[in-house]
Amino acid sequence: MAAEYPEVKKELTAIEQTLEAYSMKNQTAPKPSTFDKIKSEIQSPTSPTDKDDGKAKGLPVWLGVLLGALGVILAIAFFNAQQQQRSLQVENEALNVALQQCETVNQDQLDPDRPMAIFRTDGNSTILLAGTEANPDLQAAVYFNPLSQKSYLDPFQLPAPISGKQYQLWALIDGQQPTDMGVFDLPTDGQSLIEVPYIANAQAFAITLEPEGGSIEPTLADMQVISNQS
C-alpha cells in the first residue's frame, strides 16, 4: 500500500520516526542484577517447561497496543487515499463535461446559421420594422443578403401572441399586394433569428397578427410593425 499510495508511505515514515525518537528518549542502562540474571541463565539454561508452568510469554502489552494503533492508522490512510482518488475522479469527469460544453459552444459559434456568423457575412443589409400607432413599443428587424440570397427575421421586441393567434411576415413589392412570407413562432431556445424566404425585390416588410396558420391577405387592423418603403 505504501508503494501505491503516497499518503500511506508518509504515515509509515512518521510512525517510524516517532518510535525511534521515543526509544532514544526513554532508553535506560540495565541494572547490574540484570547482567547477573542473564549470566546465570546462560550458564544454566532452562527449558520452556521450567518457567511459568510451561507457558511461553506473549508480546509486551505496549507492543500489542502499538501494532493495533498502526493498523488503525494504516486503515485511515488507506480510506483517505481512496476518498481522494474518488474525489479526483469526480473532478476529472466534471472537467471533461466542461471541456465538451466549451467545444459545443465553439462549434455553435462557427455554425454559419448562428447570429454572429450571419451578421459578419459580406453583403448583409438591415431593415428595421417599427411599431405602429397602436403598438409603438414593438420592434423587429429583417436581415437580407443578395449575395447569399438569404433572409432572416429578428423579432427581438415582439411579445408572445395571444392564444389562437400567430405572427405573419409580409413583403411589400412595388406598392402592390403584400407577399406572404409565412407565419412564425417566437424563438424559445435563445436563437433569436428566424430564416425566412428571400425576396430579391422587396421594398419593405410588415408583421401582422393573424389566426393560427396565417391568412391569405394581411389583417391591417392587427398590423404590429412595418418598415419604411425604400
Q: For residue 45, tell me if it sits in a domain.
A: no
Q: For residue 53, tell me if it sits in a domain.
A: no
> Which of 131, 133, 153, 136 is closest to 144 using CA atoms?
153
Q: What is the mean pLDDT of residues 135-150?
A: 92
Confidence band for 47, pLDDT divided at 50, 70 and 90: low
Which residue type, as a one-letter code, is found at position 45? P
User: What is residue 10's predicted lDDT score, i.e. its pLDDT?
Assistant: 79
Instruction: Quick: pLDDT tens for 165-186.
Output: 999 999 998 767 799 999 999 9
Q: For residue 188, tell me if it sits in a domain.
A: yes
Residue 83 lies in domain = 1-27+58-110
State whether 176 and 71 are in the same domain: no
Assign 98 to helix, strand or coil. helix
Confidence band for 65, pLDDT divided at 50, 70 and 90: confident
Q: Among the three residues 73, 94, 110, which one is the final residue of a domain in this structure?
A: 110
Angstrom distance (rounded) from CA 167 to CA 39? 112
**48 vs 182: which has the higher pLDDT:** 182
Four-residue CA torsion sign, 165, 113, 181, 128: positive
State whether 87 and 138 are in the same domain: no
State whether 106 and 120 are in the same domain: no
Q: Is the pLDDT of residue 164 over 70?
A: yes
Q: For residue 39, tell me if it sits in a domain.
A: no
Confidence band for 61, pLDDT divided at 50, 70 and 90: confident
Domains: count for the chain: 2
User: What is residue 56's predicted lDDT score, i.e. its pLDDT?
Assistant: 46
State whether 99 and 171 are in the same domain: no
Angstrom distance (rounded) from CA 130 to CA 138? 6
Task: Name the pairing type of β-strands 179-184 and 194-196.
Answer: unpaired
State whether 105 and 168 are in the same domain: no
Output the pTM of the full model: 0.51
State whether 185 and 201 are in the same domain: yes
State whether 195 and 147 are in the same domain: yes
State whether 105 and 194 are in the same domain: no
DSSP state of 199: -
